[in-house]
Amino acid sequence: MSCGLKDDILITTALGDHSMYLSRMTFLSAFAGLLSLAGCVPPVDYAALIPPPGKYDVRILRDTWGVPHIFGKTDKDVAYGLLYAHCEDDFKQIQEGLFLARAKLASIQGKAAAPVDYLVQLFRFREIVEAKYDTDLAPETRAICEASADGYNHYAALHRDQVIPGILPCTGKDVVMGFVVKTPFFFGMDDDLAKLMAPGAPGEVSQKLAATLEENNVFTHGLPIGSNTFAVGPSRTPDGSAYLDINSHQPWTGPVAWYETHLHSEEGWDMVGGVFPGTPIILHGHNRNLGWAHTVNKPDLVDVYKLDMNPDRPLEYKFDGQWRALEKRTARIKVHLWGDFYWNVAKPTYFSVYGPALETPNGFYAVRYAGYGDIRQVEQWFRMNKAKDIGEFEQALRMQAIPSFNIGYADKAGNIWYLYNALLPERSDKYNWRKYLPGNTSETLWTEYYPFETLPQVKNPASGFVQNCNSTPYRTTLGPENPREDHFPVPCGIETHMTNRALRAMELLSADDSITWDEFIAYKFDTNYSPESEAAQFRQRILDETPKDDPVVAEALRALEQWDLGTDETNPTTATAILAIEPIVRARMFGSPPPDLVATFKEKAHLLKRLFGTVTVPWGRVNRIVRGQVDLGLAGGPDTLHAVYGDWKGDHLEGMAGDCYVLMVHWSKDGTLESREIHQFGSATEDETSPHYAAQVPLFAKCATRPVWMNESEIRQHLEREYRPGDFSK
């Protein structure tokens, strides 16, 4: 979206080239209407936002790392306390998430956010939540959502100077909206929409084929920033223990950055793990009995249909030989321009039998994705939080309300489990589902999903371990218990690639038939590339294809020949490789054309020589973590098990994503629980004045962890402060 002021005001909305022009004359005559000041927002009764005494019974215990342990009598007490505590540490992101849920993000972030507000209205998310909130969610789920909204409102009432006007009060429906809006973007719906609205001719529409698509339906997937999980069962540990690695790779700041917490209620909720800003439950972590990790998977869950429009009636489309009318509504978007100036934009939205439809320069297209209309994501995660054993956990998963994410699981009984969790549509094999689909036939209108038991999964294999690092489910472990690719329909789009992280996990775990707890942690922080990895292949290509006539390049080639595929902090040859490879990895992540490998290697060789006087620079001098006044070198790199993805800052890469909140879990043979964790920054994710803003950076830079405290007696031995919401103000 763009906005400019020349002779006209131009606002381009909804990811496309459709523009609304306002002449200067009209602009001047409507100037009074352009101003939309904060003072015009209806006044808020802040006193009414504070829960009455006795409504909630909760204590917040902050340990010496600043981590909040929320102790409540009931589950809803805990949810209320969690949101209050999280607001203390990241009120800005939680507020912005609420504006997103209300389709009002552009009112605070400006024109760049207008397409997001448009999509929230196009997909009718609010309407869906309003219609299903009371019927599709259990009373206890609604209770924690409404309690978390109360926690947000209470904090806002006591910190009015931090409140962005125009959104209070938060409601339980807003909390559910956060899940409903964000879920499809984790499995790539934004990529499909971006391609649809990109300049140029649209992609080819699939024709009905006479045979199945074993050859034609080839799936390719962008490389996600990534996540790791692996679990080891009793047969592969020296003392019959079970281990679990919970290791998502997320951006280090922003709306999907991890926040660590511990939740404990007298109703059986006792969970430690990570939440995103505004979520009332832990998204992955462990309780006393079991734990799980998520990694991003990319099944094909989104389809785009080319509608066959009536040339005589512009908003009619053909479906099974009959003309149908697109349902038309209007999205209204308030766009912040500058200062106290706003502009109200109106943009039509359309709806078809397939789902939401977009008008593009190439015609009308409809979008359909798996799980559309389901609002139960928060309920499934809540049930997973409270599951006591593998049976209850599986019952929660069978809801299939969370349409994607791999799951790595372990428990105190010694069970380990990998599940390719996906809500896979049952599609005809007569179409190529990676192309656009004909939007004129019920043959392409899928309505059913493959049942849970048919999903790729490995439970308690003889090998004693499972792993997934954004990789194919077909190489989860050793031996014949791996899922077989030929057992799953091609139109599901299940990945077949192996990341370096998956290759290294397989190499490390399979080579050690008696894995100790210390070894398990060390494997998680491995910093090497596999000889089978793309990094190793890129290295060989550079050595084979790069001329040696340039002295600086020749020096870099000699360093590259000596590179051992490692990325430890002191390695002097890593920089010559990673600075050439990283732009290619980044391009693949974000769907842009990758640069030429050899040309990039030459460029980076000269860059190193110019900055440091040599191409052999310790990797930790180049690879950095910076947080406030803390600036330290890091091991790791793109797609290593200790993953670090950085932005170039003139003379170094500054970490911005990858390894972040790491949680390692150990159940001994008798069920005794031990776990260790580390956060890349600290619990104060927004407050730069807090001692916890960068408290964990030195440990993180050393690939070290710290103990998890779940027992109240332990927490009190390391207690910084205890308070109830409203009793302590930062």
Q: What is the pLDDT of residues 55-95, one digit of tens each?
A: 999 999 999 999 999 999 999 999 999 999 999 999 999 99
Angle between helices 75-101 and 114-122 (to 10 degrees): 110
- β-pair partners for 335: 343
Answer whether 566's CB lies under 8 Å from 530's CB.
no
Which residue stretches of the chain have pLDDT < 50?
Answer: 1-39, 210-224, 729-730
CA distance 724 to 71: 10
* Distance of alpha carbon 233 from the chain centroid: 28
Instruction: Give the pLDDT confidence score for residue 216 in this predicted structure.
Output: 34
Closest CA to 9 of 300, 338, 238, 293: 338
Going through 183-299 in order, the beta strands assigned E by DSSP cover: 227-232, 242-251, 259-265, 270-275, 284-287, 290-295
Helices (H), strands (E): how many in the chain? 20, 30
Closest CA to 245 of 610, 552, 728, 666: 666
Q: What is the chain's mean pLDDT, rounded?
A: 90
Q: What is the pLDDT of residues 554-588, one digit of tens each?
A: 999 999 999 999 999 999 999 999 999 999 888 87
Closest CA to 63 of 205, 261, 201: 261
Closest CA to 266 of 74, 59, 521: 74
Residues sharing a CB contact under 8 Å with residue 300, sequence separation 6 or more, in sequence order: 219, 433, 434, 491, 492, 493
Answer whether 182's CB lies under 8 Å from 402's CB.
no
Q: DSSP letters of 102-129?
A: TT-THHHH-GGGHHHHHHHHHTTHHHHH
- Please provide residue 25's backbone torsions phi and psi, each rounded to the nearest 5 degrees: -60, -50
Specify the pTM.
Answer: 0.92
SS3 assignment, position 349: strand
Going through 405-464 in order, the beta strands assigned E by DSSP cover: 406-411, 416-419, 437-438, 457-459
Instruction: Give the pLDDT confidence score for residue 663 in this predicted structure.
Output: 98
- Please provide residue 577's backbone torsions phi and psi, each rounded to the nearest 5 degrees: -85, -50
Instruction: Give the pLDDT confidence score for residue 28 in this predicted structure.
Output: 31
CA distance 491 to 218: 9
Going through 394-506 in order, the beta strands assigned E by DSSP cover: 406-411, 416-419, 437-438, 457-459, 465-468
